[in-house]
Every structure is written in C-alpha cells, then in structure tokens.
A and B are shown apart, each in its own frame.
Chain A
Amino acid sequence: MPKAIHSSALHAVPPIALRRRIADHVMTGVAMLTVILVLAPLIAIFAYLVYRGVGSINWAFLTQTPKPVGEAGGGMANAIVGSAFILSLASLLGVPVGVGAGIYLAEYGRNRFGDVIRFTADVLNGVPSIVIGIVAYAIVVLTQKHFSALAGGVALAIMMIPTITRTTEEMLLLVPQALREAAYGLGIPRWRTTLSITLRTATSGVITGIMLAFARVAGETAPLLFTAFGNQFWNLKVNEPTAALPLQIFNYAISPYDEWHRQAWAGALVLIVLIVTAVAAVRFAVRRGTFGAA
C-alpha cells in the first residue's frame, strides 16, 4: 500500500492495533519457518545422496553382479536389469487394465456403478504396499511354490492400476464433448469414437498418468520382499527369484559392511535419478502437451 494513501486515511480509519500487527508479522514468519523446516530435509537428503552416491558409482557398479562379502568391487547390474524386468511385467499387466478402467469411468461410468469403481480405485490407492505384497504372495508364490519375478510384477501391477485409472479418466474428461459429437455425426460407432478420437486426443495425458504410476512403483521395496525376493545373479526368467534395485539397496543398507553401504548409496542415486527424470519429464510434457492449460 502506498504511504500517501495510508496517511490520508489515517483520520478516517483507526489504525490497526499493535498487537494485531505483531500477530500478523509473527504468523508470516512462522509460515516461512515451516517452509524452511520442510525444505531442509529435502535438500539434506539430495545433497547427501549425491555426495555419497557420486563417490561410489563407477563402471563396475553398473556392469557387474554382487561380489561375496569381504571382496571389494562388484555392482548391481543384475538388480538394475531385474528392476527393469519386473517393472515391464507390471506395466504389461497393469497398464491395459488401468487404461481400460479409466475409459470405462470417463465414457460409460456416469452412474452408480461408476461411482463405486471410482471409490474402490481411490481406496485401493491407499492400501499399504506391504499388504499388496502379501496378496501377491498368496496368489502367485503359494501356487507356484517359489518366489518369482512374476509375483513381483503382479504386486506392482496392482499398485499401478488405481493411479492409471484415475488419471486416464481425468484426461479423457478433458477432451471436448464437441469432438465426440462430431464423430457420432459422421456415423462412427461409439467404441470406435472412444478409441480413435477420444483416446487418441488424450494420449499425452494418459501417458503422463502411466509414467506417474511407473515412477511411484519403481522405488517400491515392501511388495517385492517376499515376491521377487532378490537374487545375487542374473535372471530373466519369469518363474525365478529376481534381484531388484530397491531390494538390493535395503539389504545392503541394513548390512554391517562399509563396502555394501557404499553400494547402497550408489544404488539409491541411480534409482532416484531414474525416478526424478521420469517425474520431471512428465511435468515438462504436461506443460508443453495438449493440455497445457489444464
């Protein structure tokens, strides 16, 4: 507020009591303090991660399998590939179901049943990941009688579905109704309109949702503990236990060996770089993409 106006208005309006002005300043200060307190651990985590991670990462880490305890060197190459393998399995299972459910909700789901599914998806999103691990164990591991990459993939797929469903729905709803009507006007059947017009228009948004779900499950450890289980060697068979990057980080972090701690930090750095790249790419794409204004 310009000073001149303030002083001329001084006669008409009584000045705000000192106590209230102090309270205003104090609370502004408190709000700023909370921001600093929240950002401090974030910066601390990233700084320490980069500091420890960059020092520990090397070519061997990215290309070799783990060495036995006590031997220096070795790496997590099998875990990196294993993670990619499990995540591909999860995407293969989860993406079609999630996108399909999203299409149903957006195009056919304006009714009671749609509301039920919407609510179910939201609730499913909040189920603890370890519980989903138990269910994947019960469904896949108990029937197969051994841990497997497939079980890990199933667990992660269950976690991806609700996120993909809800974002797909959201993105399809942003497609202007006029586009659908234009398609109907040309005599195109409804299913064809949905696939070739609506879904096509919303592609970038739907992919955003898939990437977000992907980033969310990429770092999951709990559901893999007793599904994929981990492995010290290479494995690309669906039916065998498989190493995963988050699992390896966990096992190394709680071990008593310095060499393994070092590798845990390197693994964490690799993991976070992958995830942050995915998230940042998504944000960039959303800003530049079809729905920049949304």
Chain B
Amino acid sequence: MLLCGSAVLATLGLIVYELVLRSGPSWHAFGFKFFAGHDWDPVNEHFGALPFVYGTLVSSFLALLIAVPLSVGVAVFTTEMCPKALRGPLSFFVELLAAIPSVVYGLWAIFVLVPILSNYVEPFLSRTLGWTGFFVGPPYGISMLAAGIILAIMIIPIISSITREVLMVVPQHQREAALALGATRWEMIRVGVLRNARAGIMGGIILGLGRALGETMAVTMVIGNRPEIAKSLFAPGYTMASVLANEFSEATGDVYLSALIEIGLALFLVTIVVNALARLLVWTVTRGQPSRANA
C-alpha cells in the first residue's frame, strides 16, 4: 500500500523529469527568449511562444469574466434561495455539464455556437461596442471570443460546485444573526454568507482558471489556430494546449519537438501553481476535508 502511495508521488516526479529532460534542446537554443518571441517558424526551426501564451491567457481570462458571476449566482440560488425540492435536480444538471467530454463541447461549438456568433452576436457587438477596439474585424465566428465562451460553459460547473460547497459550510448562525438584525434576504447573503466564503470562492475560481488554462479540444476546434497577437476578440488566436494538440504528432526534428514539450512544461508549471493555490484556499475553508467537487 505504501508502494501504491509512493506511485502517486512517483508519477508526478516522472512527469516533471520527462518534461524537463525533453525540453532541454529548446531551452538551450532559445533560453528565456522562447517566451518573448513572436515567430513560430518550424521550417527554419525558429520558435517563439508568445502568441500561444497570449492566447491561453486571454481566452482563460475571458472565460472567467463570463463564468464567475454566473457560477456564483447559480451557487447562491441553489444554496440560499431555491425550494428544497429543486436543489437536488438543479445541482445534478449543473454537474451533468461537467460530465460532457470536451470534444462534444467542441463539436457543438463548431456547428451551433460559431454560426450564432458570426450571424448575430458579433455583428451586434461590433455595431455597439466596436469603438473599444475589442470587437472589430470580419465576424467569422471562429475566434478568441468563441473560445472564451465555450471555456466559460465548461468551467461553470467546477466553480459553481465548489462555491456551493463553500457556502454550505458557512455557519447557520451567520444567516440567522443577519436576518435577526432586520436584513433582507439579499443583505443576509451579501453580508452573512458571501463575505464569509470569500476565500473559498476565490479557491473555486482559481481551480476553474486551472481547468481553462489546460483545456485543449474544444478550444482547438473554435479558436482558429493562428499564431498571432490581435487586440480584437473577433480575430483567430492559438493557445499553448492547442498548438500541442495540432502539431505534436507531426513535429519533425528534435528542436521542434523539444520546443513543443517546453510549451507543455510551461503549461504544466502554471497549472501546478494555480491548482496548489486553489487547493490551499479551499482547504483553509473546508478544513482539509477531502473535496469531491472535482471527481
């Protein structure tokens, strides 16, 4: 049994070892400039990963922007407002969202979400908000915006189930005290519940961010896969995970492969930090009880 326990540890060690070892050639060739360069030129073996880093960050940030208010709203509704009979089915449906494989999200996004975006949403946004510079250019649908939206749909179950968990451990006295002081229900939620659960909700949000950063298939299918940095959200982009999905099995040459593995290593390190942070935050709130939110 100790052996099996150690195997878990060894697996993580193996992941680190392999990634560091295999990304060596690229690291020696480019150093830190790898993450500052714009060029992605496999033919001349010149690699810069900045467009991918940019795409990953922007699409994840966009997803959080959409998903956080929605998931906190759902969590508040299921724990504080809705009738008891609805609670079970509602959380079941939201959890069902988490069970849909990412490739099916991608499939739906290609054939339903993208046409809706290009026919209705993007023309509307460019008419009303075009002056900001974020919503300009031809509305193809396949875009950073599409990636952000599909990511948001995918991380809502994670954030909302953890928020729900955290809201449920807020002591009942807090609610009763607020109500006894004459607070309305919303004031009770704001002062008595949400304020107490801040750290845990933050943990849930960061866990959602971790998932968004590493999400591959759905994003690859709608983001357009062009290594460019554009201000407009209608422009296609590329993420770190997508470039791995698209180019890894076709990478010829050691430096090319190693450059891709270095991107994988960077992705790995970022998600490790993000997840560790989130776990610590959630743990401080639920006091180390094992969480099943991710199962």
Contacts and interface: CB of A to CB of B under 8 A. Distances in A.
**A and B from one complex:** yes
B214 A130 contact: yes
Contacts of B74: 31, 34-35, 38
Contacts of A137: 248
Interface in A86-115: 96-101, 103-105, 107-109, 113-114
B244 A134 contact: yes
B18 interface: yes
A44 B107 CA distance: 13
Interface stretch (B32-40, B131-139, B179-187): B179-187
B268 A42 contact: no
Nearest to A137: B248
A127 B99 contact: no
Contacts of A167: 292, 295
Interface in A25-39: 27-28, 30-35, 37-39
Interface stretch (B3-11, B42-50, B165-173, B229-237): B3-11
A123 interface: yes
Residue among B81, B189, B211, B244 with max Cβ neighbours from chain A (10 Å): B244
B70 A103 contact: no
B57 interface: no
Contacts of A97: 4, 7-8
Given A35-B74, A44-B112, A120 B8 contact: yes
Interface string B188-227: 0100000000000000000100110111110001000000
B2 interface: yes
A122 interface: yes
Interface stretch (A58-66, A181-189, A231-239, A267-275): A267-275
A75 B44 CA distance: 41
A44 B112 CA distance: 9
A292 interface: no
B248 A134 contact: yes
A33 to B, nearest CB: 7
B15 A264 contact: no
A69 interface: no
A231 to B, nearest CB: 13
Interface string B133-161: 00000000000000000000100100010
Contacts of B65: none
Contacts of A194: 1
Given A31-B76, A49-B108, A222 B245 contact: yes
Contact of B101 (A33, A118, A220, A253): A220
Contacts of B215: 128
Contacts, number: 269
B8 A20 contact: no
Contacts of B244: 130, 133-134
A54 interface: no
A124 B107 contact: no
B279 interface: yes
B175 interface: no
Interface string B99-129: 1111111111011100000000000000000
Contact of A104 (B2, B96, B100, B294): B2
A166 B248 CA distance: 32
Contacts of B279: 119, 122-123
A163 B8 CA distance: 11
B69 to A, nearest CB: 7
Given A20-B184, A116-B9, A166-B295, A264 B107 contact: yes
A121 B12 CA distance: 9
A34 B77 contact: yes
B103 A219 contact: yes
B278 to A, nearest CB: 8
Contact of A37 (B70, B211, B249, B294): B70
Contacts of A96: 4
B169 to A, nearest CB: 16
A105 B100 CA distance: 30
28 contacts: A32-B81, A34-B70, A38-B70, A39-B93, A45-B104, A100-B1, A101-B8, A104-B2, A113-B5, A117-B8, A117-B9, A123-B275, A124-B11, A128-B267, A130-B214, A130-B267, A131-B214, A131-B264, A134-B248, A161-B7, A215-B99, A219-B101, A220-B101, A222-B102, A226-B249, A250-B217, A253-B103, A275-B100
Interface of B: 1-9, 11-12, 14-15, 18-19, 21-22, 69-74, 76-78, 81-82, 90, 92-97, 99-108, 110-112, 153, 156, 160, 182, 184-187, 189, 207, 210-211, 213-217, 221, 241, 244-245, 248-249, 260-261, 264, 267-268, 271-272, 274-276, 278-279, 290, 292, 294-295
Given A35-B90, A268-B104, 9 more contacts: A28-B186, A38-B71, A130-B244, A134-B244, A170-B290, A219-B100, A222-B217, A264-B107, A279-B99
Interface of A: 13, 16, 20-21, 23-24, 27-28, 30-35, 37-39, 41-42, 44-45, 48-49, 52, 96-101, 103-105, 107-109, 113-114, 116-135, 137-139, 147, 158, 161-163, 165-167, 169-170, 194, 209, 212-213, 215-216, 218-222, 225-226, 229, 246, 249-250, 253-254, 261, 264-265, 268, 271-272, 275-276, 279, 283
The 7 A-B pairs of least Cβ separation, nearest first, read A219-B101, A128-B214, A100-B4, A34-B73, A126-B275, A104-B5, A24-B184
